Amino acid sequence: MSHPENHELPARLRALADLAPGSMREGAGMHEYDGRIADLSPGGVAAALAGLGGAPLEDPHDEAHLAAFEAEARYALGEALLHRSNPLYHLGELDVSNYDRAYAPEAARRAARDAHLALWPRGVDNAIASLDRIPAPVARSLIGAVRGLAEGLPRDVPADLRATALAAHARLVAHVERAALEGPEDASLGAGGLARLMGAGEALAVDPAELAGRARAERDRLRARLAEAVARVAPGEEPMAAVRKLTARGPDGDGVLDAARRWTELALEFTAERGLVPYGDGECRVDLSPPAHRWATAMMSWSGPWEADTPSFYYITPPDPAWDGAETAEWLEMFSDTTLPAVSVHEVAPGHFSHGRALRRAPGPVRRALHSMAFAEGWAHYAEEMMLEEGFGAYAAERSGVPGWTADHYEIGVWVEALIRVTRLSVALGMHTGTMTVEEAAALFSADTPLQGPAALSEARRATFDPTYGRYTWGKLEILRLRGQARERWGAGFSLARFHRALLDLGSPPLGLIGTALDRG
């Protein structure tokens, strides 16, 4: 199941991996961590942080990459103490949904899952020992995900193990529910805290005020481009009003998966024909999100670098069965005929799935194991607009089979998705510098994007527990800036294929290190 040449990790990388078995298992495919959880108790975290560091690596880029991740761990867990205020750190360690994906024989995955579930009482003890400062807004935002940990437990879990695991899970649920009622209402990190959290792992100094200005400029650009595209489809209509009509058209709850499969097929075909990414192999399947991941509307679970080459999954989150018809319709707007094509490009090709294929070939264990989420999300978001530039809209219009669907619909979807992402950046900066509440953030999503009702509130609440979720726009802007530099430096030798290969050869690098692509590309 593993790449034998990468089985032995450098000691410094092993220390980081031991601190985050969940992400190593799911993102990197290191299944030596199956059936294991990190000790995220206060004492466990302190001991793990004390073990970080050591002799420098030979390659200066890989050394800087590794050092950035060490700096992020030291700040997030050693100074900001986020394992004491954010249940998401603990959910990632308790989550057993990854064992559902067929990366190994079923019996081996079942045994690993059961070993993992047997650790739930200890993991919950550690979580409760640490989580003594959960802000009420964070608890309210994540309580559904906490409950969802147990919703997907398969029927074949032995009865005694299930009972023990569920009893532990109930204690964690009660703890988070209590925090939702009794925790402090202020969930903000402060401008300095947010800047350090964003910058440490990206090897960059972050100025929240400067980044907020970039977000405003990008919002203005996106609004102008959206207005131009809407004028071709709905002349004379106010852009966002027209968009809300367009996003009301699309598949119903039962048809979303089939629609996503068709857009996925088209995105894969176009990406391969144009040679936009270095690797076009592998299988991607579309399926419903596991319950523990239903805080995200859509996500990619790829075949990791340390795994045998097994299918990756593009997950779609369905509407909550408890919602009424209006709430369900509002949620489905995120999967409309106008927006689902761009979402599929983002999640699959040349977005996350294509990135995952490149990670399997990235040189060296540091690049394969340590993934900057600002780069990963920035790459996938960049891919949406890059596909627009390359003519994917016209290509898909000829082949989609959706009546009345045109290239303009893809373009509108790109600008709509981009407005959602740039609003995330503005909201994260506003909420964590103390200038915006969850309710004000939801209102901003409702004003600047087509999201309404539960969809807008869900996006706003995400900022409370995911303070760096502005990474989508931030990463995209940094990649676009680097692409401009590559055009200047390489001149006639520039091509998208060359630029993308040089960039993806770095794995999923901290944003402050992506310039290596120009030096080595």
Residue span of the structural domain in which 368 resides = 208-520
199 within some domain: no
- Total domains, the chain: 2
Sheet holding 284-288, edge to edge: 284-288, 312-316, 298-301
Q: What average pLDDT does range 346-373 have in this prediction?
A: 97
pLDDT in tens, 452-467: 788 788 889 899 999 9
Q: Which pLDDT score, from 0 to 100, does residue 295 have?
A: 61
6 band by pLDDT with thresholds 50, 70 and 90: very low
* Entry field: residues in the chain: 521
Between these two residues, 149 and 517, which has the higher pLDDT value? 517
Confidence of residue 74 (pLDDT cuts 50, 70, 90): very high
Look at residue 454 in the predicted model and tell me its pLDDT. 81
Q: What is the pLDDT of residue 518?
A: 97
The verdict on residue 498 lying in a domain is: yes
Which amino acid is present at 203? A
Average of per-residue pLDDT across 316-333? 80
Contact between 105 and 295 (Cβ < 8 Å) = no
Looking at the domain assignment, is residue 66 inside a domain?
Answer: no
**Confidence tier at 3 by pLDDT (50, 70, 90):** very low
pLDDT of 197-219, one tens digit each?
A: 999 999 999 999 999 999 999 99
Whether residue 32 is found in the same domain as residue 96:
yes
Q: How far is CA 388 from each of CA 348, 393, 415, 453, rounded to the nearest angstrom? A: 15, 6, 10, 29
pLDDT digits (tens, 9 = 90+) for 150-160: 987 888 999 99
Do residue 285 and residue 381 come from a single domain? yes
The per-residue b/e assignment along 202-211, b for 16 or more CB within 10 angstroms, e otherwise, is bbbebebeeb
In a shared domain, residues 312 and 450: yes
Examine the domain organization and report whether 417 and 450 are in the same domain.
Answer: yes
Q: Could you tell me the sign of the dihedral formed by the alpha carbons of 116, 122, 128, 129, in that order?
A: negative
Q: Do both 102 and 144 map to the same domain?
A: yes
- So what's the pLDDT on residue 119? 98
292 — pLDDT class (breaks 50, 70, 90): low
Residues 97 and 228 in one domain: no
Please determine, for residue 375, whether its predicted confidence score (pLDDT) is greater than 90: yes
32 lies in some domain: yes
Give 453-520 as a 3 state SS string.
HHHHHHHHHHHHHCCCCCHHHHHHHHHHHHHHHHHHHHHHHCCHHHHHHHHHCCCCCCHHHCCHHHHH
* Res 7: pLDDT: 54
Asked if 284 and 398 sit in the same domain, the reply is: yes
The reply to whether 30 and 89 lie within a common domain is yes
Q: Tokens standing for 209?
A: 């005020």
pLDDT above 70 (res 5): no
Average model confidence (pLDDT) for the chain? 94
Q: Does a structural domain hold residue 35?
A: yes
Tell me which DSSP letter residue 287 carries: E
Torsion of CA 482, 412, 410, 338, to 10 degrees: 130
Q: Which of 131, 159, 188 is the last residue of a domain?
A: 188
Among the candidates 159, 188, 217, a domain finishes at: 188
Is there a contact between 479 and 503 (Cβ–Cβ < 8 Å)?
Answer: yes
Query: What proportion of the chain, given as a percentage, has pLDDT over 70?
Result: 98
Largest pairwise CA distance in the chain? 67
- The least confident of 80-84, 252-256, 517-521 is 252-256
Which residue, 264, 271, 343, is CA-closest to 500? Answer: 271
What does the pLDDT read at residue 2? Answer: 39
**How buried is 375 (Cβ within 10 angstroms: 0-12 exposed, 13-18 middle, 19+ buried)?**
buried
Handedness of CA 504, 505, 508, 513 (dihedral sign): negative
352 assigned to some structural domain: yes
Which pLDDT does position 321 carry in this prediction?
78
pLDDT the model gives residue 521: 87
Domain co-membership, 182 together with 41: yes
| Claim to verify: residue 177 and residue 250 sit in the same structural domain | no
pLDDT at 196 over 70: yes
Strands 312-316 and 284-288, sheet pairing = parallel
Say if residue 345's pLDDT is above 80: yes
Please tell me what DSSP assigns to residue 188. -
Residue 388 identity (one-letter amino acid): L
Please check whether residues 512 and 365 belong to one and the same domain.
Answer: yes
Q: How far is CA 343 from the centre of its chain?
A: 12
- Interhelix angle for 191-200 vs 407-432, to 10°? 120
Q: Residue 314 pLDDT > 50, yes or no?
A: yes
Q: Please report whether residue 273 resides in a domain.
A: yes
Inside any domain, residue 193: no
Could you say which of 138, 155, 188 is where a domain stops?
Answer: 188
Question: Which pLDDT belongs to residue 106?
Answer: 94
- How far apart CA 208 and CA 187 sit, in angstroms, is 17
Per-residue pLDDT reduced to its tens digit, 394-412: 999 999 999 999 999 999 9
Do residues 93 and 234 both lie within one domain? no
Report d(CA 73, CA 89) in Å as an integer. 12
In this prediction, residues 102-112 reach a mean pLDDT of: 94
Q: pLDDT tens digits for 464-491?
A: 999 999 999 999 999 999 999 999 999 9
High-pLDDT (> 90) share of the chain, %: 85
CA distances to 34, 137, 216 from 456, in Å: 36, 15, 19
Q: Is the pLDDT of residue 384 over 50?
A: yes
Q: Distance between CA atoms of 219 and 226, rounded to whole angstroms?
A: 10
What does the pLDDT read at residue 327? 77
